[in-house]
Amino acid sequence: MSKPTAAKKPWYTDLTTQVMIAIVLAIIFGYVAPAQAAAMKPLGDGFIRLITMIITLVIFCTVVSGIAGMQDIKKVGRVGGKALLYFEIVSTMALLTGMIVGHLVDTVGSFTVDPAQLDAKAVAAYAGQAKAQSAADFVLHIIPTTVVDAFAKGDILQVVFVAMLFGFALSMAGPKCKPLVDLIQALTNGVFGIVNIVMRAAPIGAFGAMAFTIGKFGIGSLRPLAALVTTFYATSILFVIVILGIICRLAGFSVFRYLAYIKEEILLTIAVSSSEPALPTLMEKMERLGCSPALVGLVVPTGYTFNTDGTSIYMTLAALFVARATHTQLSISQELAIFAVAVLTSKGASGVQGAAFIALVGTLQVIPTIPVAGMALILGIDRFMSMMRAVVNMLGNGIATLVVARWENEVTGEMLQRNLEKPSEVALAAEA
């Protein structure tokens, strides 16, 4: 006798539907009553704080329990090496894509300005944060001053580092630390339970963030720089469909199935203009597809620092736009310098709002002929650009996780395609 099927939930209880409705209402509200809509900012900020409050716990518990329960310790180093190799190749391709499109498409047109007339003070605050960072500085930054400091600052890379050390220590201790490993695994389940509770407030957070964006900046602010925004969005979409699509196909699954699978995370990222709030549920969904907790815990968080595909496209495309708009002629060597510096500076542009803009300012400071004040041209539309940057960053990290899992033979292409075609069954199996 076949099992009775569960009653279908009402459409309005679906999180995706709720977030979509919230975004539409926020856009209308922002257009009709800009001042009141801008005042909704605390709703979005509050939701982001709720998520960031538990991100470090999610990462720590997932990485520690995964490594501690892993039989082959060498696999951790192997996974990390493969992930970094993938990150470097794909993010470099994203930088090249932005630079190529920047040459092929005239995003400036007749929109040119005299650098002397620009408001340099508007960019001064960002320029102060954009400090040159050597390779040694970057490595030392991974090591926190204290263990508590890593969690207090919410630095994802530092938390991953501490969690890996802790996981290795528990693994080498063997049976003596098994009670502690079991406790951390139980804590992991509790933390993801908190994530599920917090995600119920996603529509409220999405409404507040989107209402603020439309009310504060207005859709009309896109008109003067519409060519740049449109080109960036089109380039990002093509990068996902073509470049990441080919990678997905080689890994044995469809990029469109993948996009449908993480549609909630896509909508949430668009609404709040940051990829960090989607991190906990993205990690959970990667595990549902068959990836081990240790692999997910290593690849996804480190990808938020090293694999910023959307930010990479933005940086080279925007750099060429600023140069052209300010009548700055760049030589081939100067463009290569921008590319080389962007390879490094893009690694510091994580899912936090404004990080990519700061990284771009730091990149342009290396080429004195480009007036950094030119960044004031795109400061007003950066919020709209950050929506797509964050989405592509998040999408790329999920795909990177699945690709590395395929390399490690944790999943097969057929398994991924089957699970992506029937996500509801995967969710039910995970809950069972």
Residue ranges per structural domain of the chain: 12-431
Q: Per the structure block, which two tokens stand in for 217?
A: 């900046």
The pLDDT of residue 2 is 47
CA angle 373, 96, 92 (to 5 degrees): 100
Architecture of the domain spanning 12-431: Orthogonal Bundle (1.10)
Residue 354 — left, alpha, or beta (φ > 0 → left; ψ -120 to 50 → alpha)? Answer: left
The pLDDT of residue 428 is 47
DSSP 3-state assignment of 208? helix
Give Cβ neighbours of residue 245 (< 8 Å, ≥ 6 apart).
255
Query: What is each CA distance from 84 to 51, 300, 402, 405, 411, in whole angstroms?
Result: 26, 11, 14, 14, 20
What is the tens place of the pLDDT at every residue in 90-136? 999 999 999 999 889 887 765 556 555 555 555 555 555 555 555 56
Distance in angstroms (rounded) separating the CA atoms of residues 23 and 215: 13
The pLDDT of residue 134 is 56
With a cut of 50, list the residues of the chain below it in pLDDT: 1-4, 6, 351, 428-429, 432
The pLDDT of residue 394 is 92
Q: Quick check: 354 and 395 in contact, CB under 8 A?
A: no
Q: Quick check: 162 and 60 in contact, CB under 8 A?
A: yes
The pLDDT of residue 405 is 93
Distance in angstroms (rounded) separating the CA atoms of residues 263 and 253: 16
The radius of gyration of the chain's CA atoms, rounded to the nearest angstrom, is 22
**Which phi and psi angles does 284 have, rounded to 5°?**
-65, -40
- For the beta carbon of residue 414, count every other beta carbon within 10 angstroms: 10
